[in-house]
Amino acid sequence: ATLAQGRGSSFDCGGVRGPAAWVAGARANARSSSQLRRAMNDAAAMRLATEFGGQAMSQLKQSLDTVQEYVQRGPDGVSWLCFVGGLATFALGALGFVDVFAMLFDPLYYLVNAYQMLFGLGTCIIEAPREWVQNEKLQRARGFIFEFARFLTTVGGRGLFYLFQGSLALSLSGVSLQFLLGCYMGALGVVCILVQWDLLYCAGAGDGRDAPSLDQDSSYIR
8 A C-beta contact, residue 31 and residue 40: no
Contacts of 22 (CB under 8 A, 6+ apart): none
Would you say 196 and 154 are in contact if contact means Cβ atoms under 8 Å apart? yes
pLDDT tens digit at each of 222 positions of the chain:
444 444 444 444 445 456 666 666 666 666 666 666 666 666 666 776 677 666 666 766 666 666 656 565 556 778 888 999 999 999 999 988 888 787 788 888 888 889 999 999 999 999 988 777 777 888 888 889 999 999 999 989 999 999 999 999 988 776 678 888 999 999 999 989 988 887 766 655 544 434 444 444 344 333
Which pTM value belongs to this model? 0.61
